[in-house]
Amino acid sequence: MDGNTRTGIAAWLLACCALVFAMVVVGGVTRLTHSGLSIVEWQPIVGTIPPLSEAQWQETFAKYRQTPEYQKVNAGMSLDEFKGIFWLEYFHRLLGRVTGIAFLVPLLYFLARGRLEARLAWKLGAVFLLGALQGAMGWYMVASGLVDDPRVSQYRLTAHLALAFVIYGAMLWLALGLLIPQRPACEAGALRGLRRIAWAVTVLVLLMALSGGFVAGIRAGLAYNTFPLMNGHLIPPELFMLEPWHENFFNNMATVQFDHRLNSALLAVAVLLFWVKARKAVLPGRLQLVGHLLLLAVALQIGLGIATLLLVVPIPLAAAHQAGAVVVFTVALAINHALRATPATAASQASYEPA
């Protein structure tokens, strides 16, 4: 595969990453505005066209009025108010369709032109299947809120979010591999240690995002709106108030929020440790820069999280906090990839240039 082809495929994958990033942010706003249950049918093709006439709007609104959310939460809502939540969910679903097309059409083009090596083609095919699964998971999540309780399952919400991170991470990793092909890695002890810490940081970022999914799913951010203590306690007394005990990790506001705070603290410590060790290791300039970006991104993300909590989850801050999680994940993956592709010789470390 020549350099221009590699660059073109990488640019396409990065564009798809940007679309998934937008999906995560819009999905967060949809959840925060309680718009996600406004469309009560899953019509991947027909649903692309919104209601166009007054009769179609009345029909769509009539279907919504049969849902528990309307009957228990939004009884008396006007058609104009309904349109406000409908358009957010519609745009979220439309963006998902656009993302799927933006991935599939170039994939078919590259395949038809023989531009993809077999191994890469299989990986990209797997990413497409994950995207299809994500669409089904999105409806599976919405369906959980169309029954007795007008709120989506926190388990399905978190699974939906986790799958978005997996798809985003897979495309980003493949793009980085095309832009910066792997070189023989340096086996210096310091770099091996940095790689272990970098992967630990990435795992903690994912755990933080997943715990954030449960915080959002049970609306735990609306409780314990103090920091650093939780209503005057370092460890809230309600931590294990539910039986059986394991239910607390998924259904107890105190435990779910405590877990999210704990994950954030562990991430901060791990990132600071990585930053200190990276400075001592005298890494190439680009890698040092990404290390600084990671420290900055995590500091901003934790600051956003604290502000979101103290101000009782205002939508702009909460959406920025969710976007921040993707940014931190991006930087963490970039560091892992850069460490994996570190040149083997000390001489080349002095002027690091990707192959």
Residue 13 has pLDDT above 50, yes or no: yes
- Residues 79 and 179: their CA atoms lie apart, in Å, by 50
Task: Tell me the pLDDT tens digit for each residue of 273-327.
Answer: 999 988 887 777 778 888 899 999 999 999 999 999 999 999 999 999 999 999 9
Q: What local confidence, expressed as pLDDT, does residue 216 receive?
A: 95
- Residues 257 and 260: their CA atoms lie apart, in Å, by 5
Round the CA-based radius of gyration of the chain to a whole number and report it. Answer: 23
Task: Tell me the pLDDT tens digit for each residue of 28-59.
Answer: 999 999 999 999 998 888 788 999 999 999 99
Q: What local confidence, expressed as pLDDT, does residue 352 receive?
A: 34
Residue 230 pairs in a beta bridge with 233
Is the preceding omega at residue 228 within 30 degrees of 0, hence cis? Answer: yes
Task: Tell me the pLDDT tens digit for each residue of 151-201.
Answer: 999 999 999 999 999 999 999 999 999 998 765 444 456 677 888 999 999
Q: Hey, is 233 helix, strand or coil?
A: strand
Residue 343 has pLDDT above 60, yes or no: no
Q: What local confidence, expressed as pLDDT, does residue 325 receive?
A: 96
Task: Tell me the pLDDT tens digit for each residue of 69-112.
Answer: 999 999 999 999 999 999 999 999 999 999 999 999 999 999 99
Tokens of 235: 């460890």
- Residues 300 and 145: their CA atoms lie apart, in Å, by 33
Q: What local confidence, expressed as pLDDT, does residue 344 receive?
A: 43
What's the mean per-residue pLDDT of the chain?
Answer: 91
Q: What local confidence, expressed as pLDDT, does residue 190 receive?
A: 64
Q: Are 342 and 349 in contact (CB under 8 A)?
A: yes
Of the candidates 331, 321, 330, which has an alpha carbon nearest to the alpha carbon of residue 275?
A: 331
Dihedral, CA of residue 127, residue 24, residue 199 and residue 177, to nearest 10: 40
- Residues 12 and 249: their CA atoms lie apart, in Å, by 39
Task: Tell me the pLDDT tens digit for each residue of 230-247.
Answer: 999 999 999 999 999 999
Residue 342 has pLDDT above 90, yes or no: no
